[in-house]
Chains A and B, each alone.
Chain A
């Protein structure tokens, strides 16, 4: 079945550590996105990528980095520069017209300990 797989589902990070969240899709979608969801804040765009080897900053990119070396994969690294990383992270993908909206992964809940 086609879909988006995010891993891990839960992740704990110590202060000062970088962590990488995985996002893989087999929908043959060109565009991929990372969102952060906090209680009462809705979804906020971190980074997005329309094609391989290209990506753009979203509204809250500081403290995050991404890569898009393969069409299927769009990993997100939460760096130590991100001061408040505890949140729920959602990955999504779409065809470039986003005509049916996005398909979402099941999310990764990151907690700083």
Chain B
């Protein structure tokens, strides 16, 4: 059975801290790994990773894929209260299907 596992499920840190969110997967056919941020309603796209070892960056957020370890991490440096959200990891396993992890709920204390 294809699955995506995220850890931790919940995390509380203080503003300014750096956080690392983890995602591991076991799938029969890997095409890409995606990260989304869900603040209130609709998840919004952050990164798509297809190649091992190549870091994607957007401001204070970065992510990298390790195909050997079947995992990915999402780093957020110098966290701000606006980073509080649910972060979803997902794996595209075929043209029409993406499977999601349960998400990491991140709360940033001022």
Contacts and interface: CB of A to CB of B under 8 A. Distances in A.
Interface of A: 4, 31, 35, 40-45, 48, 50, 90, 94, 96-107
Interface size class of B (residues with CB under 8 A): 20 to 34
B95 A97 contact: yes
B4 to A, nearest CB: 8
Given A42-B102, A48-B97, A106-B41, A101 B90 contact: yes
Interface stretch (B42-50, B57-65, B67-75): B42-50
A104 B96 contact: no
Interface of B: 6, 9, 32, 34, 36, 41-45, 48, 88, 90, 92, 95-103
Contacts of B97: 45, 48, 98
B36 A101 contact: yes
Classify the secondary structure of B's interface with A.
Answer: strand
B45 A101 contact: yes
B57 to A, nearest CB: 17
Contact of A42 (B32, B34, B42, B100): B100
A100 B45 contact: yes
Given A99-B48, A101-B45, 4 more contacts: A45-B97, A98-B96, A101-B34, A107-B42
